[in-house]
Amino acid sequence: MTTILEIPLRQITLANIQDLQDKYPDATLRIETDNLSEQSMGESIFWSIIDSFDWRTRDANAIMAPAIKALSEYEIADIYQFHDILNEKLFALDGEKYARELGDNRYSEETYFSGDNFLYSRCCVVANGSQFYHAVLEDPSKMPKNFTFESLLYLPLEAFKLKTGSADYNHYPEIWAETFSNKQGWPGAKLLLDSVLDLS
C-alpha cells in the first residue's frame, strides 16, 4: 500500500528530512506542484542573479554575461520585476549619509558633486551582493571609495534583448533611482532637492 505524506515545502526542515530518511529509507521523494518551472521574481532570485556575476574579468559586459543569460530565461514580467527590485535597492542608498562617504566624489556643500557618479557608486554596492549591500545600508562608512559599476543599470535591458531579440524595452519602475529621488535621504538638502526635482 502506498503512503502519501504531505508537508508544505516551505515548512520542511533538515530534521524533517532526516526523520523521513530514518523511517522510510527506501522511499522516493516526490514533489508535486502545478508550476514548478514558473518561479516568480523575488528577493532571493534577484540576489542569486546578482551573485552570478563573473568577477574574474575586468570587462563589465563579460562580468554581467552570466547574469544577463540567467535573467533572460525568466518571463518578461520577471525581468520587469527584477528592474523594480534593482531600483528599490538603489533608492534605499540614495541619501546624504551615503554620499558623504564616497571617495573623490563625496558630497559636500563646498565642492562639486556628481549625482550620476553617486548613482554608479550605488550600483557598485548592489553588484557586490546581498551581504555587502546590507552592510553598507547599515553602515554608510562602508560605501566603496572611487568604485562604480554603471553597467548594472542596463542588465534588465540586456536580458530583455537576449530573450526577445528586440531593444524595445518599455518598462519604467515606479521607484526612481536617480540621485536626489529619495527626499527622506536628503533631510539637510531641501533647497537643493527642490531645485533639482522642481518640487517647490
From the CB of residue 199, how many other CB atoms can be counted at a distance below 10 Å?
A: 10
**Is residue 157, in this structure, part of any structural domain at all?**
yes
Q: Which three cell numbers stand for residue 140?
A: 554608510
**Is residue 128, in this structure, part of any structural domain at all?**
yes
Q: Are the C-beta atoms of residues 159 and 46 closer than 8 Å to each other? A: no
DSSP state of 151: G
| Residue carrying C-alpha cell 528577493 | 43
Backbone torsion region of residue 105, taken as left when φ is above 0, otherwise alpha when ψ lies between -120 and 50, otherwise beta: alpha
**Is residue 169, in this structure, part of any structural domain at all?**
yes
**Is residue 64, in this structure, part of any structural domain at all?**
yes
pLDDT at 123: 97
**Is residue 17, in this structure, part of any structural domain at all?**
no
pLDDT at 199: 43
| Residue carrying C-alpha cell 553597467 | 151
| Residue carrying C-alpha cell 549619509 | 97
Rounded to an integer, the average pLDDT of 102-107 is 90
Considering the entire predicted model, what is its pTM? 0.75
pLDDT digits (tens, 9 = 90+) for 165-188: 999 999 999 999 999 999 999 987
pLDDT at 2: 63
Q: Count structural domains, the chain.
A: 1
**Is residue 2, in this structure, part of any structural domain at all?**
no
The Cα–Cα gap between 157 and 19 comes to 46
**Is residue 61, in this structure, part of any structural domain at all?**
yes
Q: Are the C-beta atoms of residues 90 and 185 closer than 8 Å to each other? A: no
Rounded to an integer, the average pLDDT of 119-146 is 96
pLDDT digits (tens, 9 = 90+) for 112-132: 999 999 999 999 999 999 999
For residue 82, give its domain range: 42-197
The Cα–Cα gap between 120 and 134 comes to 17
On the question of pLDDT at 57 being above 60, the answer is yes
The Cα–Cα gap between 147 and 199 comes to 31
**Is residue 87, in this structure, part of any structural domain at all?**
yes
pLDDT digits (tens, 9 = 90+) for 1-30: 566 766 665 556 666 677 778 787 877 776
